[in-house]
Structure 1
Amino acid sequence: MAKATKKQALGRGLSALLKDPENDIQSATDRNADKVVGNIVELDIDAIEVNPFQPRSNFNDEALHELASSIRELGVIQPITVRKLDFNKFQLVSGERRYRASRLVGLETIPAYIRIANDQESLEMALVENIQRQDLDPIEIALSYQRLIDDIQLTQEKMSERVGKKRSTITNYLRLLKLDPIVQTGIRDGFLSMGHGRALVNIDKKADQIALYEKIVGENLSVRNTEQAVKAYREGKKGSGKSNKQTSKKPDFVDDTIDKFTEHLSVKVGITASPKGSGKITIPFHSQEEFKRIQKLILGQ
């Protein structure tokens, strides 16, 4: 108990240091920066603003009040992480649920790790920490991955290393963003699982995606049943053309595998095959980097 009291007192001391205008720390090289950056400090909750880069957009009210009750009884066990913006002004990097719950119970201060980061670093930290530690829905995770690609310019391989996920896992999440917004909302609201979404993404026409989505919800279809429905849809679509040559069905070993090629390589693989089984595989690439990525996946070098 004495150890905990000493640590809390130290946090209050660092808080006083941050409020001293003569110790306005703006970089890791400033005087006394080593005493603050990376340490737990009791910060005034009113000195902290929410992070505009926060990927989570839905906060369950019931879960938030349960967390607030826990904080009222036990305090904030896990500190939030903030970055310093200005004199005695901070911005959340991670821990918005704890921050919101602490406000609900009327806390005036909250324990926080302090980081010094620019906007890009803050965005990356917020996205990576949330992907790794928060219970985001599949669409929120997909949007976080997409922002790491668009705003941080991370390749899927680099992102795989940064977040500790397989590249194929990241690809599966990103493909969900091809779904119609109505279907995406269904996943976010829990009407569909990620498995349902992965099956539906193989339907290009958005109106048909929505029609099957309504069927899934209305008939409570399993993921397996959904996959079968998508396969039947695609086979029916192939049989609706005018030319026998255009609509000739590929051998089952090809038809069952083409999506796996596309998913594994993250490019739209083309496969043509005769009824006798001969054919060719076409793998497009749009840059030297993409060529090398595909080469590594295929050849392992």
Structure 2
Amino acid sequence: MPSKNDQPYKGKANLSVLFGDDEVTDSTPKTLSLDSIQPRSSQPRRYFDSQAMQSLVQSVKTDGILQPLLVRPLDDNHYELIAGERRYRAAREAGLSEVPVIIRDLTEQQTLHITLVENLQREDLNPVEETEGILQLLSHLLECPQDDVIRLLYRMQNDVQRMNDNVIIQPEAEKVIKVFNDLGRMGWESFVSNRLSLLKLPEGILEALRQGKIEYTKARAIAKLKDEEARKSLLETAIAENLSLTQIKERIAALKKSASADKPEENLKNQIKAALTKASKSKVWSDPKKQKRLQKILAELDSILTT
């Protein structure tokens, strides 16, 4: 069954979302030749699900384009596509020669902002597209590189954890909070805690997520494998066989067990490290009987190491 976003775009474009509180002076659709419209080269959205696109193409063939595209004039005869690339692609594939549009005179900054917001309003974004889109939007609004945006978000998180109310009165922080409130997809704190780490995943896994080939929970589990070849192989298998999260975890456990069996010395070292860490955090130091047992074990260990 086609999703909401695959329907033939009935109703008016939600321009108030795209333009904020600005008045839309002319929302009357006009008709333009499809050949006079060119997509933006910096379109934030890179992947379009082929099955969903075919569903949309069929809808366009049946009902046409019922929600106009948003374009801006480049010259008297050419226009740049601002919002509605899926409809634009579907119209081309369906063989349409003309499409309904709304024409707006926009600056490059306004265009970028609208394009980012329009993409983030979609319901079928995967986690990577959504995370990268939000960072792009924040980078644009704060007029700073994305790395600076990420540092700001972590500073805000640290301030909140230290119960420092100064975060609320910082102009940059207020802009961040407003963006998340306006988008209504998640809170900024949830974004920092659950989404920023996503971008640190190995590139192969990140690319599979971008293309919607695997769910985030499965990708995160596979990423825990340190061996690159094993990780790549499991990722390919998980996608090809549509493994469940439980099956993926079982295979990871088997791989780790096999790796430990192949490296007994390393396994023993890890056991010693784990035992020392556990001992340092336990309440053994307040129990005289357990202290004597530990002293005996350490004496025996010392004897083994010095002989």
Structure 1-normalised TM-score? Answer: 0.57
Provide the aligned length of Structure 1 versus Structure 2. Answer: 224
Q: How far apart in 1 are the matches of 2:100 and 2:62?
A: 16
2:282 alignment partner, one of 253, 267, 275:
275
1:192 alignment partner, one of 214, 239, 256:
214
1:55 alignment partner, one of 36, 39, 44:
44
Q: Secondary structure, in 3 states, of the residue corresponding to 1:68?
A: helix
- Equivalent residue for 1:84? 73
Q: How far apart in 2 are the matches of 1:122 and 1:240?
A: 56
Structure 1 residue 181 displacement after superposition: 2.0
The answer (yes or no) to whether the contact 1:179–1:200 under 8 Å persists in 2 is no
Structure 1 residue 177 displacement after superposition: 2.0
Q: How far apart in 2 are the matches of 1:78 and 1:227?
A: 44
Q: How far apart in 1 are the matches of 2:87 and 2:284?
A: 59
Which residue type is aligned with residue 47 of structure 2? Answer: N
Q: Does 1:175 find its partner at 2:175?
A: no
Q: How far apart in 1 are the matches of 2:276 and 2:231?
A: 22
Higher strand share: 1
For the pair shown, which has the larger CA radius of gyration, 1 or 2?
2
Unaligned stretches of 5+ in structure 2?
Answer: 1-22, 143-148, 154-175, 261-265, 286-307
2:181 alignment partner, one of 141, 158, 161:
161
Q: How does 1:88-103 map to 2 (within 5 A)?
A: 88-103=77-92
Kindly provide the CA deviation profile for residues 207-243 of structure 1, in whole angstroms up to 9, marking residues without a partner as x: 564355356457755335656777996xx8xx85858
The answer (yes or no) to whether the contact 2:57–2:94 under 8 Å persists in 1 is yes
Which residue type is aligned with residue 82 of structure 2? Answer: V
Structure 1 residue 191 displacement after superposition: 4.3
Q: How far apart in 1 are the matches of 2:83 and 2:123?
A: 9
The answer (yes or no) to whether the contact 1:240–1:247 under 8 Å persists in 2 is no
Higher helix share: 2
Q: How far apart in 1 are the matches of 2:276 and 2:76?
A: 68
Deviates more, 1:214-223 or 1:168-177: 214-223
Q: Secondary structure, in 3 states, of the residue corresponding to 1:142?
A: helix
The answer (yes or no) to whether the contact 2:34–2:96 under 8 Å persists in 1 is yes
Unaligned stretches of 5+ in structure 1?
Answer: 1-32, 252-272, 279-301
Structure 2-normalised TM-score? Answer: 0.56
Q: How far apart in 1 are the matches of 2:226 and 2:181?
A: 31
The answer (yes or no) to whether the contact 2:47–2:211 under 8 Å persists in 1 is no
Deviates more, 1:211-220 or 1:61-70: 211-220
- Equivalent residue for 1:67? 56
